[in-house]
Amino acid sequence: MSATTGAMHLTRRSATELATAIAAGEVTAREVTDEHLARIDAVDGSIHAFLHVDYEGARAQADAVDAKRAAGGPLGPLAGVPVALKDVFTQKGVPTTAGSRILEGWRPPYDSTVVSRLRDADCVILGKTNMDEFAMGSSTEHSGYGPTHNPWDTDRIPGGSGGGSAAAVAAFEAPLAIGTDTGGSIRQPASVTGTVGVKPTYGGVSRFGLIALASSLDQAGPCARSVMDAALLHQALAGHDPKDSTSLDLEVPDVVAAAKRADVRGMRIGLVSQLSGDGYQPGVRQRFDEAVEILTNLGAEPVEVSCPNFEYALAAYYLILPSEASSNLARFDGMRFGIRVGDDGDANVEEVMSATRAAGFGDEVKRRIMLGTYALSSGYYDAYYGQAQKVRTLIARDFDAAFSEVDVLLSPTAPTTAFKLGEKLDDPLAMYLNDVATIPVNLAGNAAMSLPIGLAPEDGLPVGLQIMAPSMADDRLYNVGAALETALRDKWGHLLIEEAPAL
């Protein structure tokens, strides 16, 4: 295949197709990688999905896959398929910043388990994607290195915190990407970029080497352009890891088989009354209602479900998350890694620490660290952190009650389509409201997916549907998601992402 005719072709293929073509010898892993690197060179100036492109490393990984194939060795299920990695994962020798200036120039001495699993699957890691600093945000505008732009409209946000990963996939810079989801950071970017994103069950994917935001909420997962591609990546990532004490030592649900099944006949799908209504944009509600109708026509039975404590999820989350974050981010003290400021030989350690953290952290990180410090301080602990933990129990109980009646729950993923860059930057609370529908799942620890269900008529921008499943029933997400995706693809003649403007 020549580079000129192949460029468009290879970058627009699915991960599933690329893996098959590489395994069959129709195309080399090196060709696939080179075409994606060329695409990044061509479009990332206007998207800024990547903080670092690992040209040399990616080509070496691709060559290794080709050599392995030539030698007749067994290939991983995603052999030669390029993946973009959120910059919150350590990758040995490759710059890792978590979107923060405080880690500028740091090259980790070890691989995260997610990276090890990608290597085991023979994936090619193209580079590190942009994100809100330490994953705090819903727009990537809180990145210390400038925002990512939405491929559908470069004046708009790509969501956050994993806006870089979602935009890389939506802009055909990579067929697959890795995200992390603490309050919606995989699902909300998927929603506003017309892509698929999954937050697995907490403990489903190892957190070893994931720079922690809130340890009881963080979970890594796949970003892709189709449900099947997401399933393949999910399967490559998931499974027990002795290096993470919260990693679940349970059999991983067969998400690939579920994506192939794509059959919702007889399933009960719950519509959460607390995640609808006036706060949701009319076009979001319209596409959501249409998607429910499609699933109903496919044989599912819709049921209204009430989760009364979801109304308090946002409040509980913005106490629990800052509390855990303020503790986790204490490690960035300018002593062992990253930058150090004000070490003039006279200043003491506390002064250097305070100057380093003031210079290295951005606004949102500083706000949340202080919020957490406040919520954990004596005199406020019971009223804030303690109370939020009890509300968290009630939210988990709401899920338990709902899942005793239905197989999955549905809601819009985000209340609106992509908003303009800068629109909510100075209003933290307005920014937080983007995650109102995604946060309950993080608090309870179960699994959820966002997939595209059309464009909002009023602005022509993608709308996402959220599917929520019980813990360790991640396969249901893929079954329902694939059924809906197939029906929509039959209706449109293609995936929604094909309608994204050329860059």
Partner 1 sequence: MSSQTSLTAAEVEHLARLARMSLTDEELTRYAGQLDQILHAVDRVGEVAVDEVPPMSHPQPLVNVWRADVVTPGLTADDVLAGAPAAEDERFRVPRILDGE
Kindly identify the residues of this chain, within the stretch 238-267, that bind partner 1 according to CB under 8 A: 242, 245-246, 248
Q: Pick the closest to residue 86 from 204, 203, 205 (CA basis).
A: 205
Rounded least distance, CB 280 to partner 1, Å: 19
Among 380, 423, 459, 499, binds partner 1 (CB under 8 A): 380
CB of 34 to partner 1, least distance (A): 30
CB of 180 to partner 1, least distance (A): 15
Amino acid present at 148: T
* Positions in 81-140 near partner 1 (CB under 8 A): 106-110
Nearer to partner 1, 278 or 350 (CB): 350
CB of 429 to partner 1, least distance (A): 6
Residues 207 and 195: their CA atoms lie apart, in Å, by: 24
- Residues in 176-235 at the binding interface with partner 1, rule: CB under 8 A: 202-203, 216
CB-nearer residue toward partner 1: 131 or 314: 314
Nearer to partner 1, 31 or 87 (CB): 87
Coil/strand/helix, residue 307? coil
Task: Check binding of 390 to partner 1 (CB under 8 A).
Answer: yes
Nearest residue (CB) to partner 1, 465 versus 472: 472
Kindly tell me which residue out of 374, 423, 459, 486 binds partner 1, with binding defined by CB under 8 A. Answer: 374
Interface mask toward partner 1 for 324-343; x: CB under 8 A:
--x---x--xxxxxxxx--x
Tokens coding 33: 């990688």
Distance CA 398, CA 145 (A): 39
CA 285 to the chain's CA centroid: 23
Q: Is 297 in the site for partner 1 (CB under 8 A)?
A: no
Per CB under 8 A, contacts with partner 1 among 5-64 are none
In whole angstroms, give the CA distance from residue 308 to residue 402. 11
**Interaction between residue 396 and partner 1 (CB under 8 A):** yes
Q: Say which residues have a Cβ less than 8 Å from residue 348's Cβ, sequence separation at least 6.
A: none
Write down the least CB distance from residue 303 to partner 1, Å: 25
> Which member of 136, 198, 291, 352 binds partner 1 (CB under 8 A)?
352
Q: Which of 149, 225, 392, 424 binds partner 1 (CB under 8 A)?
A: 392
Count the neighbouring beta carbons within 10 Å of the beta carbon of residue 147. 22
Of 2 and 348, CB closest to partner 1: 348
- Applying CB under 8 A, which of residues 83, 388, 456, 495 lies at the interface with partner 1? 388
Residue 213 region by backbone torsions, left for phi larger than 0, else alpha for psi between -120 and 50, else beta: alpha
Closest approach, Cβ 143 to partner 1, in A, equals 19
Query: 464-483: which residues touch partner 1 (CB under 8 A)?
Result: 471
SS3 labels along 104-142 = CCCCCCCCCHHHHHHHHCCCEEEEEECCCHHHCCCCCCC
Q: How many CA atoms lie within 13 A of 89 on its CB side?
A: 30
Q: From residue 38, how far is each of 33, 41, 224, 408 by CA, in Å?
A: 9, 5, 20, 41
Q: How many residues bind partner 1 (CB under 8 A)?
A: 73
Question: Which of 97, 79, 92, 81 is closest to 35 using CA atoms?
Answer: 81
Number of other CB atoms surrounding residue 108 within 10 Å: 19
- Active-site residues: which are they? 86, 161, 185
Gap between the Cα atoms of 329 and 421, Å rounded: 27
Is 371 a residue that touches partner 1 (CB under 8 A)? yes
Taking residues 417 to 456 in sequence order and writing x for each that binds partner 1 by CB under 8 A, - otherwise, the string is -----------xx--x----------xxxx----------
For residue 220, give the H/E element and its range: strand 220-224
Nearer to partner 1, 273 or 373 (CB): 373
User: Using CB under 8 A, which of 68, 389, 486, 499 touches partner 1?
Assistant: 389
